Structure 1
């Protein structure tokens, strides 16, 4: 995982170090998830589904601000099928999350999907509000 930035006033972005390394968080991962540090560790996927009517994918996210300052978050999510093929992506944002406060947001994709999906966090940006 590559971390860019990190000061409380500077955006902190976390992205996978290499596309071949599975560093994104998945809801279908067996066992207990490992605790991640930095901004990525502040975000958890709580639900991953395809709407039965619209066929749009969505990921419910819980953001917990573990930093020392009120922060804004931008979370990128991808939706993949069983063969790891990316089917869609979405972005969710939450502003002014106080230290220790939680925020529930939805990353809503707009592509129609009929396959079973897995949701993965691909990027988290946190910066002081």
Structure 2
């Protein structure tokens, strides 16, 4: 039992050899941008702060939502990323989800990728990053 607890504590230490996770982060707005205010949100730390939604749209021909993502590796080691995104309507109801991955991203390197949903959606959506996992490559 003690070995299991020690193993769990060691794996959650956040070292570069273990995955860094940052689930259920605040909503990231869709491509509809609000007017900037003097109270801009502070940049997030950890893997979640490495990912930004640059576009959030529903394709009119397929009715599939997608989120364009910009990943910037702010860690000191080359890293692999797994990003989970959800698509929600104006009332906050979840309509779909998608994943995106980027491998072997060098420190300070930027990568554009897309999280493509496959659910039929016929309304405007907001994209929310729900989880970011970063592994040392």
1:25 to 28, 33, 45: 28
Quote how far apart the aligned CAs of 1:15 are: 1.4
Relative to structure 1, is the Cα distance of residues 14 and 5 closer, same or farther in structure 2, using a 3 angstrom cutoff?
farther
Q: Does the 8 A contact of 2:27 with 2:127 survive in 1?
A: no
Mapped to 2, the partners of 1:113 and 1:86 lie a distance apart of 11
Mapped to 2, the partners of 1:23 and 1:70 lie a distance apart of 26
Quote how far apart the aligned CAs of 1:6 are: 1.8
The structure richer in helix per residue is 2
Runs of 4+ in structure 1 over 4 Å off: none
Structure with higher Rg: it is 2
- 1:82-97 matches, cutoff 5 A: 82-97=90-105
Mapped to 2, the partners of 1:29 and 1:15 lie a distance apart of 23
Aligned to 1:63: 71
Quote how far apart the aligned CAs of 1:33 are: 4.0
Quote how far apart the aligned CAs of 1:40 are: 0.3
| Secondary structure of 2:49 counterpart | helix
Mapped to 1, the partners of 2:130 and 2:51 lie a distance apart of 11
1:81 to 64, 89, 93: 89
| Secondary structure of 1:40 counterpart | helix
Mapped to 1, the partners of 2:134 and 2:108 lie a distance apart of 14
The structure richer in strand per residue is 1
Gaps of 5+ in 2: 1-11
Aligned to 2:115: 107
Gaps of 5+ in 1: 17-21
The number of residues matched between the two structures is 121
Whether 1:120 aligns to 2:128 is yes
Whether 1:9 aligns to 2:17 is yes
Q: Does the 8 A contact of 2:80 with 2:135 survive in 1?
A: yes
